[in-house]
A and B are shown apart, each in its own frame.
Chain A
Amino acid sequence: MSSNKKYWKSVEELNENSSIVETLKENEFVNEIPTDEFLGNKESLESSSTTRRDFLKYVGFSTAAASLAACEGPVIKSIPYVVQPEEIIPGVANYYATTIADGFDFASVLVKTREGRPIKIENNTMAATNGSANARVNASVLGLYDILRVKSPMKGESEISWSELDADVTQKLQALQSSGKQIVLLTQTFASPSTSKLISEFATKYGNVRHVVYDAVSESAALDAYQAKYGERALANYDFSKAMTIVSVGADFLADWQGGGFDSGYAKGRVPKDGKMSRHIQFESNMSLSGANADKRIPLTPSQQKQALAKLYSMVVGTSVSTDLPEHINKAVQSAANELIKAGSNGVLVTGLQDVNAQTVALEVNAAIGSKAFNPDTPIKTRQGNSKDVMALVADMKAGKVSAIIMSGVNPLYTLPNATDFKEGLAKTELSVAFSMKADETSTACTYIAAAPHYLESWGDVEMKKGHYSVMQPTIRPLFDTRQFQEALLKWTDNDMTYREYIKDAWGTSILNGSSFNKAVQDGVYVGSIATETTTTGNTTAIEPGEEAFQNVIDDAVGFVSAGSAARALASAKSGSMELQLYTKVGMGDGQQANNPWLQEFPDPITRTSWDNYLTISAADAKELGLVNEYEATGALNGSYVDVTVNGATVKNVPVIIQPGQAKGSAGLSFGFGRTAGLKDEMKTGVNAYPLYQNFDTAQNVTIEKAAGMHEFACVQLQNTLMGRGDIIRETTLEIFNTKDKEHWNPIPKVSLNHIETPVTSPEVDLWDEFDRSIGHHFNLSIDLNACTGCGACVIACHAENNVPVVGKEEIRRSRDMHWLRIDRYYSSEETFEQDDTKKDEFSGLWGDKGSLGGFGEMENPADNPQVAFQPVMCQHCNHAPCETVCPVAATSHGRQGQNHMAYNRCVGTRYCANNCPYKVRRFNWFLYAQNDEFDYHMNDDLGRMVLNPDVVVRSRGVMEKCSMCIQKTQKTILDAKRDGREIKDGEFQTACSAACSSGAMVFGDINDKESKVAKLLKDDRMYHLLESVGTKPNVQYHTKVRNTTEA
């Protein structure tokens, strides 16, 4: 039966009268190929002295000559240091502790440098309280080697020197000082005691200085609420490991909520211990990481969330509000409230609603139940932005009240919802300086671009949480003629100190309490006894000029202190016909790193789509609006376009992805994409969502209209559901886990041997003779599906460690992604995976209600509110590997230590191994991805290639590659031990992914060391191997996911 479906290759084809479509239909090539020019002229052909035979001779000769010449080895020069720095030994990596603080991501990290080049970011394990490196932080090292960085200060289009810039700026500032007009410092959140001090000194010198802190994605409401209740402008800090019942209303706390960094605490409570684990209930509209990990997820629109929160408050605290929530939600809210009440101090309620009322109510509830997870002593300092201040500033600029503006770490022309107003205001200033690493949207509109260094080239200090400090130190000399904002302020305040001296000085007087500064720099972190007075005074003096606005906020906030009225205000929230929930992706954040190819190619954990942002919409709404997602014959995903309008601001041509679990009546769109300046054409992906971010509220009433055409996505996972194959992701509930024995919820698959059911692990049913692996090391990687939140830090860490190439959107679309480590995401087709299994088991016959033909078709579609499971999959390093037996050239073979080796130089590219791999983890190099203009990513320029790990070879075209279980790292650990003549302790062996995993889901080690953590995990009841029935005997273990479905 033929289909009537019409397929098209491009949007243009939809236009019936398009001339180009007609032309293309007629001709294969748009332009005539000029064959006549060289074949038509018979005369010139005949007169030509080169005959066909001659031509062949030349070709033959030159080919032979070229191949012979290629046999000659090149002359390679080696240039040693003239004076070798003491700390550098070529070939040995150095590690430095430093801190990223780019206004969006704050984390204490370790930087691995080789021959002076930073090449990888790792977790600073000494800084347990300061968050850990997420995917963006892991990828940030590549930003250092961005070819598009501003290489020297610029005035307009022309490069100038720093002395010229200093002279111009100071002269202008002095002139303005006497004129009495406003000088504005518009900066990111530095959370830096020293910078605050410095800015106040700058304010004293020039007078009339106004410091406005601007966070692109604002937490202003939460800050206001916290300030009103606890008298400090900071964010509430939660330790989810101390909570047994977690209720979240729209807070994606496993991603970037309140600056992120909560996942390790959360994961600790998620691993069943003594029969107990935490219970997580999530109310949200978009399918978020937190929702995906929740035990119970209730999809509801943002306005319903407000009502739900009000109701939760009323039930827990004991007031009454009236809401008009639908029955099923009402019931869910009630049961959540009951659970919270029952949990008492073991419960916690968090909300991500950008509404002072909502935040106040959440704080009130936690106070009422006395939540142990909430720690008022160490509030989070890494968001300081005040959206009211920012709005006031834009208004003032537009009114011409601002004469000079100096910006650092912000890009308001891209991130402001009213960017046009800002642009107008910017034109009215007499002096505008932007400290920026890029010629981005804002800096190009300023008079001067002050070339700023990367954080790996800068000094700094950060107060992450009250009393918890972190030091930023340079790990490389500045690559370009750059200067950091603070250095410039020092210069402009006639201070001869370097910023390092300034920090040391400031720390010595107010923070260190006599302990060593050098030690703090070496550790990267310092925990003070209590927060110091100077930091707070520093802040207030800095804000002083803008005190009026500041005071307003406090007044406003004080007005809301009555939580009861806040709850009533929430309860009266009206819903629009369609509500938009804006969010940030774990892969892109606020969009600062949009020119980072690793992050662009990083597949979103939920949609598994890379190189794009999109409107997520529920299947029901999509049907109503006539929006579709289709698969091409190649397996690539296409989606409709829509125009999204909020309050008159329209974003056109937003591609749509139909998202299972999206609340009906809501849509989601992420920030961070749609950049237009300061990045390569390849990276100019997606649409800019900031124009819709009005009043800095992530929830907006929106109208959605279908637009013409289909968008081409680069989606790496087309199989959305598990189809009842419980063998891949094993799941059980806490109740069954506690009461039944292992055989029931985690059985070993059996095969029939002489009509006796025999476990596949027993040697009798094995095709192969077992190799004795009891001697030496035997590596295993353990992955706990309960602890894995799907954050993807491991994916980027793997990229950085193993020189995995970026292949680009087109190649991803052709399913040629190169990620050695992928995180599979599965939805259930019924409400839960368990129901899937039951449904599949009950299939009987082909046809009918329980027929498998129709049934399997149904199971391909995820449910409206599916359960979600994440599963990191990399090479399983099978002891009986199917890939090894089919390689015709023995390029892949097994090592005694359990690793499946891949000798790239031996591989001839038959791809038999990939075909025979049951886990589909082998990747083929279809092209040469390094030094190839067709793939203009970091490996195509000298600067970008500096990030390559010299211990891992860069693969060439035509060879297969895959996860090596970081053999370069295990070998290095072994060598270090041999050199020291000692045994290896547990924990020394690490892979890039296990080291990057902050939630403790990945544990790597030697199972022949019986005392090691991984050896114990191997014996755990939850342990299973992926597709065990195949008999591959993998060296990667998985641990059954346990869900806490026990309702209170």
Chain B
Amino acid sequence: MKKSYQSLEDNSTNTMIQVIYRKLTSNFLNLGLVFLLTFSTSLIAQEGDPVKGKTLFNTNCASCHKLDKKMTGPALRNVEARLAEEQGLDREWLNAWIRNSAGMVKSGDAYANKIYNEYNGTAMTAFPQLTDQDISDILAYTAEPPAEKVDGPVPPIDPNQPPTGGVSNKLILGALAILFALLAIALILVRQTLNRFAEAKGIDIAKEDKSVPIWKAFAQNQFLVLVTVIFFLLASAYFVFGYLSQIGVDQGYEPVQPIHYSHRIHAGDNGIDCKYCHSSARVSKHSGIPSLNICMNCHKSIYEVSAETQQEGLDEYGVDYNAEIQKLYKAVGWDDAEQKYTGETEPVKWVRIHNLPDFAYFNHSQHVTVAGVECQTCHGPVEEMEVMYQYSPLTMGWCIDCHRKTEVNVKDNAYYTKIHEQLSKKYGVEKLTAAQMGGLECGKCHY
């Protein structure tokens, strides 16, 4: 009992967020089933355990097989029954195939060769370590009926519809406005009523002396005028300067990309290292936009996201993630049904977000590899960004600020040994900043 429970736990932890897993109810059903089976296992050895089977399937088979879809290898739903029906092949054949498919192909088995050729001569990995019990577990898992779709029809989403959070804010503001209006009206009414009372009581409200209107008094006071003019001039200078200095500063630039790529899912939820895709950041001045073959390393098997993720995308971001994956397939020329490349590619024209001007030289490898700066230091919390945007201002002041504060990472770097020792002695500091190392010199970035 305890053992089976553990395996359930394994199941849920193993499942990544976008991989479909069945509803809790079916898990409970399985639990019951397993409960029964744990007692019967020793009795009927040939009966497979679908729960164990699932674990085994996920560890051994899932990289090439899906239950309902052709991948590197054929779809495996009801494979045993199907083979028995269509080809008249029994469990023995399957056992032999799983443990040594290459051997069977070589031995000239007709169906083995057919399959081998159908899948472009890709030999299936041999699994001699699988026991008969393991195989029957896996087969039991493949023999399970498909889980029902959890979600109903997808609610259509109006992309123009403002997010709900915004609505409530406006409502509150509107209510407040009405409140204030009512208050103002009430005050006016009160004043009128009081006036009427005064009139009725014959009280004469003292009229103020006919005095100079305020604007005239202001105009006559030269000092005030001067001060005001200076104030306005300074203020406008401040704003003009502010306006001008933000020209070309595109902090927060968040363009719409041809493929909606979510850094949140990839870097955040799945914890993929930035440099897995942006590998050239380690050695080159460019971090590099990953070429599409990098995407296909994973997306060859991940052809759709889990239902939850899909729903989340639709609800919160108005994005159909599965459709975005299809865009990738189209661009890279991948025929998902046939599981092969068509050769017709349409390179993706991404919109570049971080645009340093030509006259500024920036080298990623200096910062990433040598200094060991985290990508997030400049690019912000990318792992939380559904849509990538420019986090930092990328102005020279911003660069220099960092160079002034950041200590040079000299650990285990023979290049720095001598110069760091001499310079730190000269400046009388323990650790040098990038600026002290010469990181503020014009020619280090402008050439």
Contact = CB atoms under 8 A, between A and B. Distances in A.
A389 to B, nearest CB: 51
Most chain-A CB neighbours within 10 Å: which of B247, B293, B366, B415? B415
A893 B446 contact: no
A905 B347 CA distance: 34
B422 A775 contact: yes
A79 B414 contact: no
A80 B422 contact: no
Contacts of A975: 363, 365-366, 370
Interface in B338-362: 345, 347-352, 355, 357-361
Contact of A78 (B285, B289, B332, B447): B289
A986 to B, nearest CB: 15
A30 interface: no
A91 B413 contact: no
Nearest to B246: A71
A624 interface: no
Place the interface of chain B in its size category: 35 or more
B359 A82 contact: no
Interface in A56-89: 71, 73, 75-84, 89
A955 to B, nearest CB: 9
Contacts of A84: 291, 293-294
Interface in A895-929: 895-897, 899, 901-906
A92 B441 contact: no
Contacts of B426: 772, 775
Interface residues of A, number: 50
Given A91-B286, A902-B443, A964-B447, A76 B280 contact: no
Interface in B303-343: 331-333
Contact of B443 (A774, A775, A903): A903
Given A953-B359, A977-B415, A979-B370, A91 B446 contact: no
B33 interface: no
Contacts of A76: 351-352, 355
B297 to A, nearest CB: 12
B3 interface: no
Most buried by B among A82, A895, A952, A980: A82
A975 B255 CA distance: 33
B12 interface: no
B17 interface: no
A775 B285 CA distance: 27
Contact of A776 (B283, B358, B365, B438): B438
A951 interface: yes
A79 B447 CA distance: 26
B103 interface: no
A979 B283 contact: yes
Contacts of B414: 981-983
B292 interface: yes
Nearest to A891: B442
A982 B413 CA distance: 7
Nearest to A895: B441
B447 A82 contact: no
A982 B412 CA distance: 10
B413 A981 contact: yes
B250 interface: yes
A903 B446 contact: yes
B292 A775 contact: no
A932 interface: no
Interface string A308-336: 00000000000000000000000000000
Interface in A949-983: 951-954, 964, 967-968, 971, 974-975, 977-983
Given A80-B292, A953-B359, A75 B443 contact: no
A774 B290 CA distance: 43
B252 interface: no
A626 interface: no
Nearest to A93: B284
30 contacts: A73-B250, A75-B351, A78-B351, A80-B292, A80-B348, A81-B292, A81-B347, A82-B332, A83-B293, A84-B291, A84-B293, A90-B280, A90-B288, A91-B285, A91-B286, A774-B422, A776-B422, A776-B438, A895-B444, A896-B438, A897-B438, A951-B285, A953-B359, A967-B447, A975-B363, A975-B365, A975-B366, A982-B414, A983-B415, A983-B418
Given A73-B248, A79-B348, A896-B441, 20 more contacts: A71-B247, A76-B355, A79-B347, A82-B291, A82-B332, A774-B422, A893-B443, A895-B441, A896-B438, A899-B443, A901-B442, A901-B446, A904-B359, A904-B446, A951-B447, A952-B447, A968-B361, A978-B370, A983-B418, A984-B415
